[in-house]
Amino acid sequence: MTAAQAGCLTAALEIGYHLLDRGAPALTAVEQAIRVLEQSGLFNAGRGSHVQLDGVRRMDASIMEGQDLQAGAVASIEGIVHPISAARLVMEQTTHVLLVGKPGSAFARHCGLERQPRRPSGHAAGKAAMTRVWSPKTLELYRTMMSSGPALRKRAGKETVGAVALDQTGTIAAGASTGGIDLMLPGRVGDTPIIGCGVYADNESGAVSMTGLGEGIIRIAVAKEICDRLAQGERPVSAATQVLKKLVRRIKGAAGSLVLAPDGRFAITHVTPRMAAGWWNGKGRPTVRDSFQ
Ligand code: GLY
């Protein structure tokens, strides 16, 4: 984690906590904390989102609150700085849970959300981008990119962002926002906008926000499985550890989780080498680290 990323995480924690301290809903603290990370360009979300193989940034986000189990999400949206706010608008302004693609992007623009270019200038993929996505060379290019993918992703040093929060009324919320995997096939969607996979929140169990390789997180439905364990009385650290171990054992997945119980116990757990994350309860300074092993 760079010093700039650590500073940005600290700022996000401070903004989220101060909102909660003034009586704001957990949902607002989660949204505003994630907006700080999306705005920074330092993480794989919002301005810092990875691009797909055709050089376009397509982003996913979701948000959920634990009192009435309301949720909203967007997948594969383009040209918007704050997908997390688009997700909240889907939740609050529509009767739907998930909007996708160009119509989802149009919804976000219609709601007046700040815009950014679909195709960041100067990105290597942007320069090499295909003018037609499915040319005969598409899969060849994709395989070349993916074979060096882990190194590229490591070099990028930017991951999905997320937050969980507990407010003064005892309601919890979870959210996540991502640009997906660098140089993925156009149209690929990961776990982040899928309720029960990338996020879940229920006042009767807990709030979970995931980062990591979405293909694995989806197949285990990680967020819901962690919440189910919390509902059975398991501690956050144990619930997260058991489910992440299952992810590794069953499908060689890689992920990290933020887990918060309704009584305030929490865990930051990962089976990746590092996970930049932090927490704050208003005492002292926020804790920010890139490993919680
Ligand atoms: N966890 C983010 C993604 O796989 O898209």
Give the pLDDT score at 145: 55
- In short, whether 192's Cβ falls inside 6 Å of ligand 1 is yes
The catalytic residues are 160
Asked whether 197 and 160 are in contact (CB, 8 A), the reply is: no
- Both structure tokens of 150: 């882990």
Give the pLDDT score at 121: 78
Asked whether 197 and 222 are in contact (CB, 8 A), the reply is: yes
What is the pLDDT averaged over residues 53-62?
A: 94
CA of 272 to the centre of ligand 1 (A): 14
Mean pLDDT, the chain, whole residue set: 91
Q: Residue 204, exposed/middle/buried by CB under 10 A (0-12, 13-18, 19+)?
A: exposed
What is the pLDDT averaged over residues 257-279?
A: 97
> What number of helices (H) and strands (E) belong to the chain?
10, 11
What is the pLDDT averaged over residues 235-256?
A: 97
Q: Which of 98-107, 131-140, 244-253 is the least confident region?
A: 131-140
How many CA atoms, within 13 angstroms, populate the side-chain half-sphere of residue 63?
24
- Smallest CA-to-CA distance from 270 within 258, 279, 288, 278 is with 258
Task: Give the span between the Cα atoms of 141 and 15, in whole angstroms.
Answer: 42
CA distances from 181 to 60, 187, 191 (A): 11, 11, 11
CB atoms near residue 138 (< 10 Å): 16
CA of 69 to the centre of ligand 1 (A): 22
- Look-up of token digits 């330092």: 42
Q: Which of 61-75, 129-143, 158-172 is the least confident region?
A: 129-143
Please say if the pLDDT value at position 149 is more than 80.
no
Strand order in the sheet with 161-166: 98-100, 71-77, 59-65, 172-178, 161-166
CB atoms near residue 290 (< 10 Å): 16
Give the pLDDT score at 19: 98
pLDDT tens digits for 73-96? Answer: 999 999 999 999 999 999 999 999
Give the pLDDT score at 120: 86
- In short, whether 256's Cβ falls inside 6 Å of ligand 1 is no
Task: Give the span between the Cα atoms of 271 and 284, in whole angstroms.
Answer: 28
Helix (H) or strand (E) holding 84: helix 83-93
pLDDT class of 144 with cuts at 50, 70, 90:
low
pTM of the model: 0.92
* CA-180 nearest atom, ligand 1: 5
pLDDT class of 35 with cuts at 50, 70, 90:
very high
CA of 216 to the centre of ligand 1 (A): 9
- In short, whether 178's Cβ falls inside 6 Å of ligand 1 is yes
